[in-house]
Structure 1
Amino acid sequence: MSDSQNSTSEGSSVVCDGKNPIDQSPRVANLEKAIFSVADRLNPFIDFARPYVDGLENLPRDGRFLLVGNHTVVGSMAETLMIPYVVHRELGVRVRGLADKAMTKMPGPLADVFEAAGAVVGTPANGAALMAAGETVLVFPGGGREMPKFKGEKYQLNWEGRSGFARLAIAHGYPIVPAASVGGDDIFHGTIERDGMLGRASQLVGRQLFGRSDVSIPLMRGLGPTLIPDPNRLYLRFGQPISTTPTGGSASAWEACVKEQTRCALEDELASLQRLRRTDPYRNLNPVAWNRALRSPQPMR
């Protein structure tokens, strides 16, 4: 999922030209009911895995807020799924994620599933329509370029040139809730540096394959020298809401200020979670330490 961006949407049932993202076909509506029915039944299994979650009290009860998160190496399996799941479990709302325009190229059935789960192509128009309807919105300003991590880049934000989320939140009076996720960047580990010879070569390969200068394919390892995923517990924290109500000055200056406040708050939460994780005997999902795992301050409802 990515920051709001200009994109087209031909050939996709996720969003089409002139289609309001609030509208749903009967097919997608039925899929949504099925998805959330299954999600509600997953609660005991999620609890058994014991993800660490705190800051639930910071989620505005009316559902009108913008979640801003960090992408990790395994984002599709960690924060992209867990943040909407936790918010839905806490507030009973469906989180609408602003996704990369690559969703417009998905085949119809797969696009329907993503739409039913809440995903919407991240255009400014779609984001505005969701906020006008009072929906809960999720965005990862770093987008897909934040997921490939070189050596030494764990939990670093890559928001260069991305401030559309702040502009959107300001325009609709949406508070911003930082959503920090730790664990996903430790399942696979970068083995080469971005500025080294191999790092530059991997970036060139990424440009050739995807046609984008901000996408790379760094060499990584998992458990030891293998590609077996290194098991790590997921840690998720929702920070205090950041007000986007203008306090004076130019619109561009306030947009930059809100973006910077959000970035600093998210980085602080990421650093805090990493410190907390170092004291957790269950951080590597060792079953022997299951009973001694750090407990979330507020159990999920």
Structure 2
Amino acid sequence: MPSAGASFFTGVSSPLFRRDPPQLLRKPRILRMAPRFAISVDRVPATIVTEEKLTMTVAKREEEISTVETEKRWEENEEKERRTGWKEYFEHAKEFIGVADGGPPRWFSPSECGSRLDNSPLMLFLPGIDGLGLGLISHHQKLGRIFDVWCLHIPVADRTSFTDLVKLVERTVRSEYERSPNRPIYLVGESLGGCLALAVAARNRDIDLVLILSNPATSFSRSQLQFVTPLLETLPDSLSPALPNILSLTAGGPLRLVLDNFVKGLPLQNTARELIGDFTTFSSSLPVLADILPKETLLWKLKMSKSASEYANSRLYAIKAQTLILSSGNDQLLPSQQEGERLHKLLPNCELRKFDDSGHFLLLEGSIDLVTILKGASYYRRGKYHDYVSDFIPPTPYEAKEVIESNRLINAVTSAVMLSTLEDGTIVKGLAGIPSEGPVLFVGYHMLLGLELVPLVSRIYNERNILVRGIAHPMMFKRQKNGSLPEISSFDTFRIMGAVPVAPTNLFKLLSSKSHVLLYPGGMREALHRKGEEYKLFWPEQSEFIRMAARFGAKIVPFGAVGEDDLGQVVIDYDDLVKIPYFKSEIEKLTNEAMQLRTGASGEVANQQVHMPGILPKVPGRFYYYFGKPIETAGRKQELKDRENSQELYLEVQSEVERCIAYLKEKRESDPYRSIVSRLFYQATHGFTSDIPTFEI
């Protein structure tokens, strides 16, 4: 069981000895031991060698609980724990700067961050202008489950130059690369730390680095911060250097303007209670902030930010590292959103995530979860390339709840009816007929625009606690070029819930891992069908999945879904659009942006033109799903290797999907609550959480 402390070290290969400093990191309900500082002998400064300055009383151990119990309890309380990190930040900042905080910059590792996945990558956090290294404090526990986390701490009085900081980080990166050359190294840079991460990446193009840049200070020359330095330099020495006194200077001056904006940019939450709490926390902690950034230190860090920005910008051309930029739209200190767009265009292997309502200190906001962001962007990997199966981290209950809640409107409007088939062939309401144990392959009809996906995945997860991994079009993961298609970030929630790109290797890995997999043989051709083609299957002529399912003994569950014609009607389709030169040109652009699929195929399912049909909305009806009887392939591996046998089963599955659709189309005619009007009236009289009846089976 890892202790809830921190380990400090200036080197990674030198002999180490341990001392007992004050407790630095605390978490409720977690076993806490005395935190440790490990300092390399060859670089121990005289100011921190004295044993008396570092030895503290060992903290009392809390009740020991097993790792499994800790994990379960942590997940159960994840929603409660999701809060701003400012209070923790200031609490631990006092301890960081309060005792023997001299010497050179050094790394510390929150010992709660003991990685629990094999071959977890190393994450190095590079702090912003404060230098403490506490910017990830509200993420430590969750990050520690999938990373080895080290944070750089720069003491308040330290005056190490930017280029020397680059060399310090570079030495650590190279040392860890030599020790584990096949695992990536993550550099998470906040503000000034973003410049540091870019500089290290430019100098180490041969090392597999992943950069996560939160509002990088490469835009310093275009920010209000540049006006603070000359004002600080003109302050008389007779004035107290404490930041609270600087705050009380004349209103309207550049420094006051910046610091006022600092407060405005705080990640205040939506509720009044949290807003007051955040503001009170910050206001009462101004003395701590003054200790973190006294006048001399603030002046030094501002000058460093200027040189760091120039250094990093002059070397952007040399950066090949995979990069994810996190940009705040309400950053009052730096023009971060514009800078994110600029870097996104300049860096060759870069993705951008925007947070329009967030301030400069993005990683301390309660609404921000770095692990969730990495999952959504598919930026977590333990090898040279991201593997959508082996690198997948299932959503926590809170993450899944957030994704489902974000789609609650379509769930409420469609009020889906789910039917399934038991092993004896009995049709039942609900999902009892869906096999609990994988591998399971759901094969069905893709409604217009894929509208059936959200209710299907949501209900199976909520009612059966089964995560369905969808096989999706590659354009949801990568683009051949940027253009008019929705931003990749629009599909982050799909990736969080386990979607993978269409590829035989991905289907192979999912079935081998006994997953529940969702496959649409008709793909985009069905989802973007023409007028009058509702509920018509467009499947390839030859089997694409039967032999793969048989290889792993997967159960094939054919299903049908109807209801798209109760939401809207296609009035302008592809055939109409291509007759108009402007729309034909736009369709060609969109198709060239998307990743190509089935380029070697012929007929209806060949690579499809990407377009948006014109849809006339209707008064919403209802969605209906019918999961047929599972088809066993276990023990049929040799039999289904034969092409004729596999083709016969393929046609059987296709026929079963068509039968499920026909059954639903007939039965829904007798549903008294097919219209949203009748459903709303029912809920008004029976309660809005009540289940709405449907037709008799």
TM-score, normalised with respect to structure 2 = 0.35
Quote the Cα distance in structure 2 between the aligned partners of 1:231 and 1:161.
35
Aligned position for 1:179: 559
2:652 corresponds to 1:261: yes
Aligned position for 1:53: 418
Residue of 192, 196, 201 corresponding to 2:579: 201
Larger C-alpha radius of gyration, 1 or 2? 2
Which residue identity lines up with residue 642 of structure 2 in the other structure? A
Structure ranking higher on relative contact order (CA contacts 8 Å, 6+ apart): 1
What are the superposed Cα offsets for residues 108-141 of structure 1, whole Å, 9 maximum, x if unpaired? 7556533211111121111111111111111111
Quote the Cα distance in structure 2 between the aligned partners of 1:40 and 1:101.
23
Aligned position for 1:37: 401
Residue of 605, 608, 628 corresponding to 1:214: 608
Q: How does 1:1-301 map to 2 (within 5 A)?
A: 14=378, 18-24=385-391, 32-38=396-402, 50-55=415-420, 56-75=431-450, 78-105=451-478, 112-161=492-541, 163-191=543-571, 198=576, 201=579, 206-207=587-588, 209-211=590-592, 214-215=608-609, 217=611, 220-222=614-616, 228-245=617-634, 246=636, 248=639, 251-287=642-678, 290-291=681-682, 294-295=693-694
DSSP 3-state at the match of 1:58 = coil
Would you say the 8 A contact 1:95–1:137 is kept in 2?
Answer: yes
The change in CA–CA distance for 1:259 and 1:85 in structure 2 (over 3 A counts) is same
Would you say the 8 A contact 1:282–1:289 is kept in 2?
Answer: no
Would you say the 8 A contact 1:54–1:297 is kept in 2?
Answer: no
Aligned position for 2:305: none
Which residue identity lines up with residue 476 of structure 2 in the other structure? M
Quote the Cα distance in structure 2 between the aligned partners of 1:221 and 1:111.
22
DSSP 3-state at the match of 1:134 = coil
Quote the Cα distance in structure 1 between the aligned partners of 2:667 and 2:471.
30
Where does the alignment leave 5 or more consecutive residues of structure 2 unmatched? 1-348, 352-376, 421-430, 480-486, 597-606, 684-691
Would you say the 8 A contact 1:73–1:188 is kept in 2?
Answer: no
Quote the Cα distance in structure 1 between the aligned partners of 2:494 and 2:407.
21
Quote the Cα distance in structure 1 between the aligned partners of 2:475 and 2:408.
34
Quote the Cα distance in structure 2 between the aligned partners of 1:24 and 1:125.
14
The change in CA–CA distance for 1:145 and 1:40 in structure 2 (over 3 A counts) is closer
Which residue identity lines up with residue 455 of structure 2 in the other structure? M
The change in CA–CA distance for 1:115 and 1:278 in structure 2 (over 3 A counts) is same
- CA drift at 1:294: 4.4
The change in CA–CA distance for 1:271 and 1:114 in structure 2 (over 3 A counts) is same
Quote the Cα distance in structure 1 between the aligned partners of 2:646 and 2:579.
36
The change in CA–CA distance for 1:94 and 1:249 in structure 2 (over 3 A counts) is closer
Quote the Cα distance in structure 2 between the aligned partners of 1:250 and 1:11.
43
Quote the Cα distance in structure 1 between the aligned partners of 2:408 and 2:656.
31
Quote the Cα distance in structure 1 between the aligned partners of 2:401 and 2:651.
38
Would you say the 8 A contact 1:231–1:284 is kept in 2?
Answer: yes
Range that drifts further, 48-57 or 60-69: 48-57
Which residue identity lines up with residue 210 of structure 1 in the other structure? T
Quote the Cα distance in structure 1 between the aligned partners of 2:561 and 2:551.
27
DSSP 3-state at the match of 2:557 = strand
Quote the Cα distance in structure 2 between the aligned partners of 1:250 and 1:174.
14
Quote the Cα distance in structure 2 between the aligned partners of 1:269 and 1:154.
14
Which residue identity lines up with residue 295 of structure 1 in the other structure? T
The change in CA–CA distance for 1:66 and 1:297 in structure 2 (over 3 A counts) is farther
- CA drift at 1:52: 1.2
Would you say the 8 A contact 1:145–1:158 is kept in 2?
Answer: yes
Instruction: Name the % identity.
Output: 25
Which residue identity lines up with residue 215 of structure 1 in the other structure? Q
The change in CA–CA distance for 1:229 and 1:215 in structure 2 (over 3 A counts) is farther
Which residue identity lines up with residue 519 of structure 2 in the other structure? V
DSSP 3-state at the match of 2:518 = strand
Quote the Cα distance in structure 1 between the aligned partners of 2:419 and 2:655.
19
The change in CA–CA distance for 1:129 and 1:177 in structure 2 (over 3 A counts) is same
Would you say the 8 A contact 2:439–2:513 is kept in 1?
Answer: no
Which residue identity lines up with residue 171 of structure 1 in the other structure? R
DSSP 3-state at the match of 1:286 = helix
Quote the Cα distance in structure 2 between the aligned partners of 1:161 and 1:11.
39
Quote the Cα distance in structure 2 between the aligned partners of 1:248 and 1:63.
21
Where does the alignment leave 5 or more consecutive residues of structure 1 unmatched? 1-9, 223-227
Range that drifts further, 276-285 or 129-138: 276-285
- CA drift at 1:234: 0.9
DSSP 3-state at the match of 1:201 = coil
What are the superposed Cα offsets for residues 137-163 of structure 1, whole Å, 9 maximum, x if unpaired? 111111122112322211111112463
Quote the Cα distance in structure 2 between the aligned partners of 1:255 and 1:271.
25
Which residue identity lines up with residue 188 of structure 1 in the other structure? G
The change in CA–CA distance for 1:258 and 1:249 in structure 2 (over 3 A counts) is closer
DSSP 3-state at the match of 2:446 = coil
Quote the Cα distance in structure 2 between the aligned partners of 1:96 and 1:160.
22
- CA drift at 1:288: 6.6
DSSP 3-state at the match of 1:159 = coil
Which residue identity lines up with residue 579 of structure 2 in the other structure? A
Quote the Cα distance in structure 1 between the aligned partners of 2:567 and 2:412.
20
- CA drift at 1:210: 1.1
Would you say the 8 A contact 2:378–2:386 is kept in 1?
Answer: no
What are the superposed Cα offsets for residues 243-292 of structure 1, whole Å, 9 maximum, x if unpaired? 23437375222221222111100000001101111122322312377549
- CA drift at 1:164: 2.0
Quote the Cα distance in structure 1 between the aligned partners of 2:521 and 2:466.
22
- CA drift at 1:58: 2.3
What are the superposed Cα offsets for residues 189-241 of structure 1, whole Å, 9 maximum, x if unpaired? 133688xx73763896645641475336475442xxxxx45412111111111
Would you say the 8 A contact 1:53–1:296 is kept in 2?
Answer: no
Would you say the 8 A contact 2:414–2:623 is kept in 1?
Answer: no
The change in CA–CA distance for 1:297 and 1:92 in structure 2 (over 3 A counts) is farther
Would you say the 8 A contact 1:98–1:120 is kept in 2?
Answer: yes
Would you say the 8 A contact 2:439–2:515 is kept in 1?
Answer: yes
